Each structure stands twice: as C-alpha cells, then as structure tokens.
Amino acid sequence: MGRGRLHVAHPRTRRARAPVRAARRPSRPRRCARPGAAAFTVYRVFGIWLYPFLDASAPWAPAAYAGIYSACWAFFGVVALEFRARAWLFRGRRALKLD
C-alpha cells in the first residue's frame, strides 16, 4: 500500500481510515542569514540606516532602547504569570488520554 500507516477501521464508524502521509513542508522565501550585518553594510556603503532604531547617535535612542528592554521584560512577566496561573488552575489533574 505504499508509505504510511496500515488501513485500520475507525472504532466509531467501522470504515477504513485513509493512510497517513507525511506532510510536505511549505517552501519559504529565502532570507538573509544575518540581517544585522546586511543593515550595517548598507549603512557603511550608503550612509543611511535601514532601521531608524539602529542609529544610536539619535537623541531619542536611549529612550527607545530602554523602552524595548522594558517591553521585553514586561512580556516575559506576562508569559510567566500565564504559566503560573495555568499550573495553579490545573494542579492535581491528570492529562487526558487520547487513545
């Protein structure tokens, strides 16, 4: 029958299941391996930054980097609280068995 699983009757419908085939990975567009290096190369050649936040000489740069830093920690805290809440809600329960 080729690749995949054997045809097994589904317990509720008593019909044979179709064989399971491996999913083909969708093709992705090729990206630059090091976008920071590419941005720096553009800056060295043309004298402009591709992204405005990379220009550390701007007067607002320290505030922008402090904002990015604090936002990362804030989102980390939200995810940590979500995991703690989930562990607290589901404590003592066993996982469902999907046989």
Distance of alpha carbon 70 from alpha carbon 78, whole angstroms: 12
Q: Sorting pLDDT into bands at 50, 70 and 90, what band is 40?
A: confident
CA atoms within 13 A on the CB side of 73: 5
Residues 75 and 81: their CA atoms lie apart, in Å, by 10
For the whole prediction, is pTM greater than 0.85? no
Mean pLDDT in the chain?
76
Identify whether the C-beta of residue 30 lies closer than 8 Å to the C-beta of residue 16: no
pLDDT digits (tens, 9 = 90+) for 45-96: 988 887 777 778 888 888 988 999 999 999 999 999 999 999 888 887 766 6
**Residue 69, token pair as written in the block:** 């830093």
Compute CA 52 distance to the chain's CA centroid, rounded to the nearest angstrom: 25
Task: Compute the distance between CA of residue 76 and CA of residue 72 in angstroms, rounded to an integer.
Answer: 6
pLDDT at 95: 64
